[in-house]
């Protein structure tokens, strides 16, 4: 009996010693929204996957067991978040005491800010010179410009940002190096060495810049005055009103 049991044990030994079958490998293609593929490869290597990447196409191919690939893919989804869009609008508003100011009517959606300006400054009237809108992704720079063709010579408006970020709770937008301003023409009389009798002195048009350059924090949906600059003498001032929205 003992000899039979020993033979059965010896026969079962090779079966018990056989290695477990390797798990089937899975390969998956992943497109990244924001993260750099090489940096992501270094991060997900801890899950046991292998990967190749293409920085131009922002793609990765990861391989491993089903559980390894699933863990790596979950980490990528958590780390590589698609940046949100931000819409910024700046209004160029002139305040002055003249009976007739250049510009048009101030839009309804910023008239509450004009009411605040009237309470803080003594200017009798406010008019809209121009409005520029930027739509960009968080983490990106952007710029735009416009021409106020109604003026003669025309004024040129400019609006740019170096970078923008959104707070974790989505309520505050941080704008790095915002520039908004006007290029204002003025007529310069050129001197003549020997002007002819009755001849007018020739004129040339040159431009001066008026605006702001600064970092700005603005609440989502809020309207704020981000700057004041002189405009064609002390009787007028340029006010810049900014609104910011996060576009889902």
Quick: pLDDT tens for 14-42.
555 566 667 788 899 998 877 888 888 88
94-103, 134-143, 210-219, 230-239: segment of lowest average pLDDT: 230-239
User: Do 111 and 57 share a structural domain?
Assistant: no
User: Do 148 and 28 share a structural domain?
Assistant: no
pTM for the full model? Answer: 0.67
Count of domains forming the chain: 2
Q: What is the distance between the alpha carbons of residues 132 and 93, in angstroms, rounded to a whole number?
A: 12
Sign of the alpha-carbon torsion through 7, 11, 13, 14: positive
Helices (H), the chain: 2-17, 37-44, 66-79, 111-120
For 72, the domain range is: 23-79
pLDDT at 247: 85
Q: Is 32 helix (H, G, I), strand (E, B) or coil?
A: coil
**Is residue 146 a part of any domain in this protein?**
yes
**Is residue 17 a part of any domain in this protein?**
no
pLDDT at 182: 84
The pLDDT tens digits for 151-201 are 667 778 999 999 998 887 889 999 999 999 888 776 655 555 555 555 555
């Amino acid at each position: 009996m003992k000899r039979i049991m020993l033979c059965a044990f010896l026969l079962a030994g090779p079966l018990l010693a056989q290695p477990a079958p390797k798990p089937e490998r899975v390969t998956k293609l992943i497109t990244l929204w924001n993260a750099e593929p090489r940096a992501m490869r270094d991060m997900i290597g801890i899950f046991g996957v292998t990967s190749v990447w293409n920085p131009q196409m922002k793609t990765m191919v990861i391989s491993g067991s089903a559980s390894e690939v699933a863990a790596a893919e979950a980490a990528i989804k958590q780390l590589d978040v698609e940046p949100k869009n931000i819409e910024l609008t700046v209004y160029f508003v002139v305040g002055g005491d003249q009976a007739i100011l250049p510009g048009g009517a101030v839009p309804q959606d910023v008239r509450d800010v004009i009411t605040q300006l009237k309470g803080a400054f003594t200017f009798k009237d406010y008019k809209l010179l121009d409005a520029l809108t930027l739509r960009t992704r968080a983490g990106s720079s952007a710029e735009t410009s416009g021409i106020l063709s109604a003026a003669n010579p025309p004024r040129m408006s400019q609006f740019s940002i170096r970078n923008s970020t959104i707070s974790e709770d989505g309520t505050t937008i941080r704008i790095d190096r915002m520039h908004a301003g006007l290029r204002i023409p003025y007529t310069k009389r050129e001197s003549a060495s020997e002007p002819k009798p009755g001849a007018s002195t020739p004129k040339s048009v040159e431009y001066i810049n008026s605006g702001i350059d600064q970092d700005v924090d603005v609440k989502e949906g809020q309207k704020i005055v981000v700057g004041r600059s002189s405009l064609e003498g002390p009787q007028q001032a340029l006010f810049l009103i900014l609104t910011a929205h996060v576009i889902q």
